[in-house]
Amino acid sequence: QEDIRQWKKHVNAYKRINRILDSGRYRNVMDMNAGLGSFAAALESPKLWVMNVMPTIAEKDTLGVIYERGLIGIYHDWCEA
């Protein structure tokens, strides 16, 4: 719960700085170190979607948690791309 509260605070700050964030201009956002997927959950916008990327070298594998939250995600090794 603390994680989602923190991300909601960050997202609100982003929306104040970039007012077109929720306008539909941006449709695809990539969270390249997704953690629990809280950034995507905090956006709560039907106008865009977030691809949650779980680095293969992450200390904790939380992609299952991201899927359980109804979000989308993928593993990726940035060094091998």
Angle formed at CA 29 by CA 45 and CA 75, multiple of 5 degrees: 120
What is the tens place of the pLDDT at every residue in 21-71?
888 898 999 999 999 999 999 988 888 899 999 999 899 999 999 999 999
| 80 — pLDDT class (breaks 50, 70, 90) | low
For the chain, the C-alpha Rg in angstroms (whole number) is 13
CATH architecture of 2-76: 3-Layer(aba) Sandwich (3.40)
| 72 — pLDDT class (breaks 50, 70, 90) | very high
The residue ranges of every structural domain in the chain are 2-76
User: How many Å apart are CA 52 and CA 15, to the nearest integer?
Assistant: 20
Question: What average pLDDT score do residues 2-25 get?
Answer: 90
| 81 — pLDDT class (breaks 50, 70, 90) | low
